[in-house]
Structure 1
Amino acid sequence: MKEQDEPVLASTNITPLQQIMASSAGALLTSLLVTPLDVVKIRLQAQSKPFTKGKCFVYCNGLMDHLCVCQNGNGKAWYKAPPGRITGTVDAFVQIARNEGVRSLWSGLPPTLVMAIPATAIYFTCYDQLRDLLIPRMNNAETACLIAGATARLGSVTLISPLELIRTKMQFRPLSYRELTQCIRTSVTNEGWLSLWKGWGPTVLRDVPFSAMYWYNYELGKKWLCQRYNKLEPTFTMSFTAGAMSGSIAALVTLPFDVVKTRRQVELGELESLRNSPKRSSSTWKIMYRIISENGFQGLFAGLIPRLIKIAPACAIMISTYEFGKAFFRKLNNERQLKAL
């Protein structure tokens, strides 16, 4: 019973504001360190559908998605098509750095952080609160973590989706707030309020199972490491290791939905950049079938190596920073209580 109670004790003596501060610090550090890895991943995923004039592509730094317009299109953006086909992860780093400059590996980071930090803060804080609520009511702590992780991710994706759509439109071409308001009003009038949640479906299919598997395996891994090394609380290294392992497993299982989401948002970007009339996007399963018919079953796992190279450190950095931040605030709060006594 003590092992099941430990996750509850991990966050009961810190405030939600302190949880938000700890998760925000993790989001900032993770974005700075792993964005280049995901830029490489998306190039490998998207090169099977070559970019032409005015077309767009999407990448995700592990926290938020980011839509960019090609430099050979109508707007200014950082993407330049490499002169040759990218043959692997190392080759992608070399070609991007050589043809676009090293700074291109971090392009789009500031606007992404504007969305990533609040989204991550909502997600991690909701997870902790739900987990602490569910564990006393369930016999299995890991199952409670699985449910809390899936529910928290579903809620954060749903809340942030309209803001992400707005950010995407502002990145696509410069818009004043009046023009942006008119654009949103027109979209809602023509297609209804649900138009603000375009891309929500494949995002949920990718992120909710990822979060469920991630938190379940993370709690199992953390408990196993604590038992192995006779620790009551996980150390920074234990959190880092458990986060990397659980993130890798979840990334491998959900990669096909990540590829589908990339393909769908690339196609949506193409329609906007070419000013085509709006069309109903294909379903997730139709896009998956199309990928298999064009590139074989292995097409669903395009970018596997760079995704794993990115996800493992991203999850490890995020969770270990978050746990470290919570430990810092717990210690600070305990010291304040002792002084008050």
Structure 2
Amino acid sequence: MNCALYSSKKEEIKTGVGMAERPAVSPSGGITPVQQMLASGTGALLTSLFVTPLDVVKIRLQSQSAPFYQGKCFLYCNGLMDHLYVCQNGMRCTTWYNSPTRFSGTLDAFVKILRYEGVRSLWSGLPPTLVMAVPATMIYFTSYDQLRDFLHYRMGCHENQVPLVAGGLARLGAVTVISPLELIRTKMQSRQLSYRELRVCITSAVAQDGWVSLWRGWGPTVLRDVPFSALYWFSYELVKRQLCQGYEVSESTFMMSFTAGAFSGAVAALMTLPFDVVKTRRQIQLGEMEMLTGSPKKPLSTLHMMRKICAESGYRGLFAGLLPRLIKVAPACAVMISSYEFGKTFFERLNRERVLQRM
């Protein structure tokens, strides 16, 4: 995306220069919201393809030290979203969870999985990831661009504040929209419900606890994802702008976007790790309680969960898994944002060519 976009467009709006020549599209890079959704959806797909093998290896390594029991939850994360994968009665996980192969480390796991189980096994967690990651990411990234443009051009907000506010609001909206769908998907997966049984299950839950029951787990997700998003976009826009100024270019390159995305993802992941630890525990806790009891029980609150973790492991427990999270989130953010920016650049050029052809 053009690093001088804000200033150049502000001058055009003030003076009217170039207004007649521009197509009737969004000011966000000269592309429409539909094109933004296509670019972000492609980025989510590429990110999931890249990161899912890392998560599969992580789960396989973890499963060696944890005995298998009837009904088990695993948490897949493609660096963009978390997805609860449920093994009901050991049936769905038998082919990969109960594999007799033993691994001595990450590299050894990659080699042995490829040798004995085939390439497809490294992407065994891809379907549940794509079901939610692609639509959620499309909503999230498109909302961010639209909110950023609105806050900057319509509201006249200060440039440094725009990514913070737009990033937080975009993530809040995406989480709110996706949470009921994620809950429905998890229920279908954990209890093998038909669509009719699912409707009855949801109706009874709403009748008992109200519509708010469809957003169970929304609070901890928001506490982690909204600060992460605000910090990420603030850092990303700042680093990208600095890189453009340092190399004296008006438009960021693919590698500039990749570098800024990796750095910003690492910073945001580090600063929000305690909320991620709590969110992971709560998500698995909810899934396993529902499998064992048939109905979800009220889990510990976020504050109580933090206190419990500190009592068990000290304050270091809130930062457990720092290195694996950084290894996963930083490249995922880099791949996602660079793919998204590349897609936007492609559509921007396509729109310009169409305008020139009409002239």
Q: Tell me the TM-score normalised to structure 1 length.
A: 0.89
Instruction: Give the aligned residue type for 2:127.
Output: P
The residue that corresponds to 2:236 in the other structure is: 218
Residue 269 of structure 1: how far off its partner (Å): 1.6
Tell me which of 307, 321, 339 is aligned to 1:289: 307
Contact 2:52 2:122 in 1 (8 A): yes
The residue that corresponds to 2:202 in the other structure is: 184
Tell me which of 113, 119, 135 is aligned to 2:136: 119
Q: Secondary structure at the match of 1:67?
A: strand
Deviation digits for residues 252-282 of structure 1 (CA, Å, limit 9, x no counterpart): 1111111111111111122122125542110
Residue 191 of structure 1: how far off its partner (Å): 1.5
The residue that corresponds to 2:78 in the other structure is: 61
The equivalences for 1:229-240 within 5 A come to 229-240=247-258
Deviation digits for residues 140-159 of structure 1 (CA, Å, limit 9, x no counterpart): 32311110010000000000
Tell me which of 251, 259, 264 is aligned to 1:246: 264
Contact 2:4 2:250 in 1 (8 A): no
Structure 2 gap segments, 5+ residues each: 11-25
Contact 1:243 1:316 in 2 (8 A): yes
Residue 5 of structure 1: how far off its partner (Å): 2.6
The residue that corresponds to 2:19 in the other structure is: none
Residue 298 of structure 1: how far off its partner (Å): 2.0
Deviation digits for residues 297-338 of structure 1 (CA, Å, limit 9, x no counterpart): 222222211111111111111111110001011101101101
Q: How many pairs does the alignment contain?
A: 340
Residue 6 of structure 1: how far off its partner (Å): 6.0
Tell me which of 3, 7, 11 is aligned to 1:5: 7
Tell me which of 223, 235, 242 is aligned to 1:205: 223
Contact 1:45 1:303 in 2 (8 A): no
The residue that corresponds to 2:184 in the other structure is: 166
Instruction: Give the aligned residue type for 1:121.
Output: M
The equivalences for 1:313-332 within 5 A come to 313-332=331-350
Structure 1 gap segments, 5+ residues each: none
In structure 1, how many angstroms separate the alpha carbons of the residues matched to 2:68 and 2:9?
47
Greater C-alpha Rg: 2
Deviation digits for residues 1-54 of structure 1 (CA, Å, limit 9, x no counterpart): 957436989725211111011001000000000123334566789999876332
Tell me which of 83, 92, 96 is aligned to 1:76: 92
Q: Secondary structure at the match of 2:31?
A: coil
Contact 1:75 1:172 in 2 (8 A): no
The residue that corresponds to 2:18 in the other structure is: none
Percent identical pairs in the alignment equals 65
Instruction: Give the aligned residue type for 2:93.
Output: A
